Structure 1
Amino acid sequence: MDFGMPSASVKALKQRAELLHLIRCFFAEEGVLEVETPLLSHGTVTDVHIDAFSTAFHFSEQGNQETLYLQTSPEYAMKRLLCAGSGAIYQLCKAFRHEGAGRYHNPEFTLLEWYRPGFDHHQLMVDVDHLLQRVLQTKSAEKISYQAVFIRELDMDPLTVTLSQLQQRAEALGLDMASAMPDDIDTLLQLLFSLYIEPKIGQDKPCFVYGFPVSQAALAQVNREDPRTADRFEVYYKGIELANGFNELRDAHEQRIRFMRDNQLRQAQGLPPMPMDEHFLSALEAGLPACAGVAMGVDRLLMLQINASHIEEVLAFPVSRA
């Protein structure tokens, strides 16, 4: 294997360029503005399931060394633009997550993120569905709640299940843990969802799952009809998680509380707390318009478009060759 050569074929690189052009045409027709925001920031995500890359900056205006973080998504900066009156916006950019490479993930990846003022998450699901039909020629998507899909596929209600019931169900399903069985409901729900539900949904057409437990949606509004759930959705197609969307939380005080709660959970799990993005929180204080937003993995989208079996087939140089 020649690690000096790209892992993607020239044909795949041309198909990537065509896909990016198609995406830009879609948003141009919709009147959505393309923007660019910094890849480096002073604050970062507090989510216990996401780790950001960090780097030392020796030339700060304060004269002392600072730690800067590579973005895991452009969300916070884009919301600052929304607070400044940008209107509907989208971005195609690099994002970074400090995780091992795998079939569907490279630590550096391409992300499409967009925000629609005046939309709720159901209206945004229609938007996402139209884009998928445009670039993948998919059928109109299925939509199902998180609660309903758990009941349908695993015969359990994720909104009422107890920790012991979850652990027993995981053992019965044959969940093989290298260490002790997780003692956190959300961690177990996410494991069961990824291992036993994701592979079954969205095979013939994309599947939108909405109404996630509120504890799994740090940036989404709480649902008015069922406060156990949040206005968040994910879309799956042919075994791949493609996108994650929200009816965006607009309350700066509530957002700060959720970030603090994340950091408390990180410390409880032996992880370091992460610096909250104060610029983002300050912008929220000024006022975020009612909007919905979504992030979609472009590399995964291209994998589906060209029927690739591994993300390295659509990247010029994955982390092993970078």
Structure 2
Amino acid sequence: MNNNWQATAPIENLRRRAEIFAQIRRFFVVRDVLEVETPLMTTAAVSDPYIDTIECRYHPVPEQQESARYLQSSPEYAMKRLLASGSGSIFQICKAFRNGESGRRHNPEFTMLEWYRVGYDHRQLMDEVEALIAPILGLNQCHRLSYGELFQQYLNVDPHTASVTELKQIALSRIELEMDDDNRDNWLNLLMSHVIEPQLVGQGGVFVYDYPASQAALAKTSEDASGRSVACRFELFINGVELANGYHELTDGAEQARRFDLDIAQRKAEGLPQRPVDNQLVAALTAGMPDCAGVAIGLDRLVMLALGAVEIKDVIGLPFDRA
């Protein structure tokens, strides 16, 4: 008998999941942060070379031509258009979609919490992230370490100045792989995910900040205490599991357009699918988005951590293979 119709998560886990979602909403109501909704289907896709967007087709009435749409990998672009429209601080709990991401901690369709605080920088936002997740996870305090400090501590190398050759040698001495790549960030990402992140297991909550400027994505850049250009962004790891990614948001439309061009060039160089750029985001930034900080949290992972679940299917009623 086929039992694939059944939920994979125990009903008690789904109740606890609903309680956590309600707790999150209360958190933002008290702080007067507006809950919003944005489209799940978009006309443009994320340019990030490390994210593969899921494409779908819209079929209008017979005499009109069908058009491509993309399932959002994050509500970021649309929420920034609301900010530029004068929304003030906002949050959203929504579905997001990423192609090829399926496994113990990944589901191609997942639930994301994203919020933006007008007038905040990324350091202030770290405080608010901690205020939200600490009671849910029973954490007393989260540690804060710069990206450079982590690489110095665990690999004895400065990630801001090390050459591609140095990073490649370090990676090949610690990881069994066959890889030939001239992209510094690919080697840095590999060392971060395969060598450093496992060292964070057992350390509770750790905020990592001041990433290399080349990894700024949609964040502003600034100079650190040593005068090096760094990205005004952070990631939060809970016992080695990446949970949150936050930025002091870029508000310069021309710079955003330049970064989109760089992403497109990298996607082309690596043979990745070419996607339409979100020019509406560039237009919104050009028109004027307020200074703000924003962060995204994977809520399925948050529930997993809160319940001590081993696999994401333990906190999702019907995961991808049963959809």
Normalised TM-score (structure 1):
0.96
Q: CA deviation at 1:183?
A: 2.9
Structure 1, 122-131 or 99-108: larger mean CA deviation = 99-108
Indicate the RMSD between aligned Cα atoms, in angstroms. 1.6
Q: Which residue of 2 aligns with 1:275?
A: 276
Unpaired runs of at least 5, structure 2:
none
Q: Which residue of 2 aligns with 1:95?
A: 96
Work out whether residues 139 and 206 of structure 1, in 8 Å CA contact, stay in contact via their aligned partners in 2.
Answer: no
Q: CA deviation at 1:280?
A: 1.4
Q: Residue 198 of structure 1 aligns to a residue in which SS?
A: helix
How far apart, in 2, do the equivalents of 1:227 and 1:116 lie? 26
Question: Are residues 61 and 149 of structure 1, via their aligned partners in 2, closer, same or farther at CA, if it must alter by over 3 Å?
Answer: farther
Work out whether residues 60 and 66 of structure 1, in 8 Å CA contact, stay in contact via their aligned partners in 2.
Answer: no
Could you list the per-position Cα deviations for residues 33-81 of structure 1 after superposition, in whole angstroms to 9, with x for gaps in the alignment?
1100000110111110001101111228993221110000000110011
Q: Which residue of 2 aligns with 1:79?
A: 80
Could you list the per-position Cα deviations for residues 15-50 of structure 1 after superposition, in whole angstroms to 9, with x for gaps in the alignment?
111010010011111111110000011011111000
How far apart, in 2, do the equivalents of 1:289 and 1:301 lie? 29
Work out whether residues 153 and 197 of structure 1, in 8 Å CA contact, stay in contact via their aligned partners in 2.
Answer: yes
After the TM superposition, list the runs of 4 or more consecutive aligned residues in structure 1 that deviate by more than 6 angstroms. Answer: none
1:96 maps to amino acid: F
How far apart, in 2, do the equivalents of 1:41 and 1:87 lie? 23
Question: Are residues 135 and 62 of structure 1, via their aligned partners in 2, closer, same or farther at CA, if it must alter by over 3 Å?
Answer: farther
Q: Residue 150 of structure 1 aligns to a residue in which SS?
A: helix
Question: Are residues 285 and 145 of structure 1, via their aligned partners in 2, closer, same or farther at CA, if it must alter by over 3 Å?
Answer: same
Q: CA deviation at 1:2?
A: 2.4
How far apart, in 2, do the equivalents of 1:61 and 1:295 lie? 39
Q: Which residue of 2 aligns with 1:208?
A: 207
Q: Residue 255 of structure 1 aligns to a residue in which SS?
A: helix
2:259 maps to amino acid: R
Question: Are residues 111 and 195 of structure 1, via their aligned partners in 2, closer, same or farther at CA, if it must alter by over 3 Å?
Answer: same
How far apart, in 1, do the equivalents of 2:95 and 2:251 lie? 26
1:28 maps to amino acid: V
How far apart, in 2, do the equivalents of 1:42 and 1:159 lie? 36
Structure 1, 198-207 or 303-312: larger mean CA deviation = 198-207
Q: Which residue of 2 aligns with 1:198?
A: 197
Q: Counterparts in 2 of 1:42-61, with a 5 A limit?
A: 42-59=43-60
Question: Are residues 141 and 60 of structure 1, via their aligned partners in 2, closer, same or farther at CA, if it must alter by over 3 Å?
Answer: farther
Q: Which residue of 1 aligns with 2:36?
A: 35
Q: CA deviation at 1:167?
A: 1.1
How far apart, in 1, do the equivalents of 2:285 and 2:275 lie? 19
Q: Which residue of 2 aligns with 1:300?
A: 301
Normalised TM-score (structure 2):
0.96
Could you list the per-position Cα deviations for residues 190-223 of structure 1 after superposition, in whole angstroms to 9, with x for gaps in the alignment?
0110111112126332100001111112200011
Question: Are residues 196 and 60 of structure 1, via their aligned partners in 2, closer, same or farther at CA, if it must alter by over 3 Å?
Answer: farther
Unpaired runs of at least 5, structure 1:
none
How far apart, in 1, do the equivalents of 2:131 and 2:201 lie? 16
How far apart, in 1, do the equivalents of 2:136 and 2:91 lie? 17
Q: Residue 297 of structure 2 aligns to a residue in which SS?
A: strand
How far apart, in 2, do the equivalents of 1:76 and 1:143 lie? 28
Question: Are residues 61 and 287 of structure 1, via their aligned partners in 2, closer, same or farther at CA, if it must alter by over 3 Å?
Answer: farther
Q: Which residue of 1 aligns with 2:239?
A: 238
How far apart, in 2, do the equivalents of 1:52 and 1:60 lie? 26
Q: Counterparts in 2 of 1:129-140, with a 5 A limit?
A: 129-140=130-141
Work out whether residues 259 and 276 of structure 1, in 8 Å CA contact, stay in contact via their aligned partners in 2.
Answer: yes
**Number of residue-to-residue matches in the alignment:** 320
Q: CA deviation at 1:100?
A: 3.3
Q: Residue 229 of structure 2 aligns to a residue in which SS?
A: coil
Work out whether residues 264 and 273 of structure 1, in 8 Å CA contact, stay in contact via their aligned partners in 2.
Answer: no
How far apart, in 2, do the equivalents of 1:25 and 1:250 lie? 29
Work out whether residues 100 and 107 of structure 1, in 8 Å CA contact, stay in contact via their aligned partners in 2.
Answer: yes
Work out whether residues 223 and 229 of structure 2, in 8 Å CA contact, stay in contact via their aligned partners in 1.
Answer: no
Q: Which residue of 2 aligns with 1:176?
A: 176
Work out whether residues 139 and 205 of structure 1, in 8 Å CA contact, stay in contact via their aligned partners in 2.
Answer: no
Q: Residue 110 of structure 1 aligns to a residue in which SS?
A: strand
Say whether residues 1:319 and 2:309 are aligned partners.
no
Could you list the per-position Cα deviations for residues 199-256 of structure 1 after superposition, in whole angstroms to 9, with x for gaps in the alignment?
2126332100001111112200011444531101000001210000000000000000
How far apart, in 2, do the equivalents of 1:315 and 1:304 lie? 13
Structure 1, 54-63 or 7-16: larger mean CA deviation = 54-63
Q: Residue 211 of structure 2 aligns to a residue in which SS?
A: coil
Work out whether residues 209 and 232 of structure 2, in 8 Å CA contact, stay in contact via their aligned partners in 1.
Answer: yes
Q: Percent identity?
A: 45
